[in-house]
Structure 1
Amino acid sequence: MLIIPIKEGENIDRALKRFKRKFDKTGTMRSLRKRQAFTKPSVERRAQIQKAQYIQGLRDREEI
């Protein structure tokens, strides 16, 4: 459970923004969305390899 102490005289919008930032850092929504659909391990591995190839290509272009 997230606890956001509100300082005296603090705007509620600012406290809400702090809450949202802290909530994003926990990764709760990301993990929930990931669990909604099952992906086969072979598909996950293929996606990781493609991502690594893409990043490596970017690094190679940067060196030139």
Structure 2
Amino acid sequence: MTIPTKLLSSREIKHILSISNTTLWRLIKSKTIPAPIKIGRLNRWVAEEINQYIAGQANQTTKP
């Protein structure tokens, strides 16, 4: 098992994606973005997974 190098908080995710808290959890529920990793009571996302999501969204918008 490899240890992720960077974990992001929900605040960071919302800022990066420019979305609200409600939209963040709606995307998680619909499995559009990866579910967070639970660390105690904290939710954290692997930065690389979020980067892959963003890249995937960029690819979808550039296809004719």
Normalising TM by the smaller chain, what interval? 0.3 to 0.5
Larger % of strand: which?
2
Larger % of helix: which?
1
- Using structure 1 for the length normalisation, give the TM-score: 0.35
- Using structure 2 for the length normalisation, give the TM-score: 0.35
**Greater relative contact order: 1 or 2 (C-alpha under 8 angstroms, separation 6 or more)?**
2
Larger radius of gyration: 1
